[in-house]
Amino acid sequence: TMWQIFSDANRLIASAIPAHCLLCSAASRSPLCDGCSADLPTLGHACPRCAEPLHNPAPLCARCQQNPRSAALHSTLTPLRYEWPTDVLVKRFKFNHSLAAGRVLAEQLAAAAEVHMLDTGERPQLLVPMPLHTSRRGHRGFNQSTELAQQIGLLLGLPVALQAARRTRATTTQSLLPA
């Protein structure tokens, strides 16, 4: 896969030339220096179904309690708040093909998944990345959810079902939707 090819190439480069932090450009052998890594904004208390931030732990947020359609979603795993520097990493990964930024995000998701699996005793059987519509994939050049799923699958020892889902229609670009 593209991830494995770039991962192998990145390891070779990293062993010969010191890397730099993706966010502050400080010398670092990891994609993020210790300072920037510590600045990643963890979500904290959140609705287990939709990941809406909460001030205190609760079984569900008010919106999920009031909306019966939300029951179709069992849970959401969201380790980071979407603010600086998470937003920078997501945008670099999605729109600049920064596989190093994707690796940081995959590592954060995998670590949160490990904690969730330990806490609940639940382990996913497989990962299913959401495919991009062909028009968007042609524009973007790669499917970021496939790249994340493959990296998380490697980190957690889970299979990835690349053909399990199919996007049948083009939808509005997420970055154009209201918050």
pLDDT in tens, 59-113: 999 999 998 777 777 888 899 999 999 999 999 998 888 899 999 999 999 999 9
Q: Contact, 102 vs 144, CB < 8 A?
A: yes
8-state DSSP, 160: B
> Per the confidence metrics, is the pTM higher than 0.85?
no
Peptide bond into 85 cis (omega under 30): yes
* Cross-strand bridge partners of residue 80: 42
8-state DSSP, 164: S
- Token digits of residue 10: 């990145």
